[in-house]
Structure 1
Amino acid sequence: MFKVPTTAGLSILAVIAAGTLLSGCSASVEVKKSTPPKLSADKLSSTLAEKLAAATGQSKPDVSCPEDLVGKVGTTSRCTLTADDGSTLGVTVKVTSVSGNQIHYDFKADDKASPASN
């Protein structure tokens, strides 16, 4: 989770967005067999937090995904990264391929963060 002063929150989110955009991030996760396979919202949130931390060299951010990711090519989902100051950054996840139980996906952070609501 980010431990930053309020004024630096948006700057940290901007660094994450820039780092994510430049690195062309992708991931794959093996999931339990179902038709089609699904990645739980909790597992997707956790995996994205780990990937964003690795891409930026920062501690794991607070990432929340509202729904399971269905393992069907082209399926998208929107997740939200929240900094300690309450500012947020959207992250789009898109399934690129499915191999058996393994879902491969790309993710991209939005260009701009939203300030904390008062």
Structure 2
Amino acid sequence: MPAPLSELTWDHSYRRDLPADPEPRNYVRQVTGAAWSAVSPTRVRAPRLLAWAPQVAELLGIAPGHDPQALAQVLAGNTLAEGMAPFAAVYAGHQFGHFAGQLGDGRASPLGEVLNPEGERWDL
């Protein structure tokens, strides 16, 4: 049954099962011996909800009827719903045939992992 954001079930398998960066401060550096670092999302000035897919909301277990402005604040990472745990994954790889070293996450940071009513896991 869909629930308001405040009642979603958050789980953090990535954070729980993989080694964490012990450094709590967020700054540019090489991260060694860890798969992820905790982050505080950079605030977005005046976020707004541009589109809403009811099918995706249902898949995640999010009930309809949210205030679009409040929802935009949460989805932008400006306001964290209870249970959210943002992180950045350590990422390294090859570019143009050469190892490029550690590049950072290179994507939007997940705000948390939602466990929907069917037991499926979704990064938000």
Instruction: Looking at secondary structure, tell me which structure has more helix per residue.
Output: 1
Larger Rg: 2
Q: Same fold (TM over 0.5)?
A: no
TM norm structure 1:
0.27
Instruction: Looking at secondary structure, tell me which structure has more strand per residue.
Output: 1
TM norm structure 2:
0.26
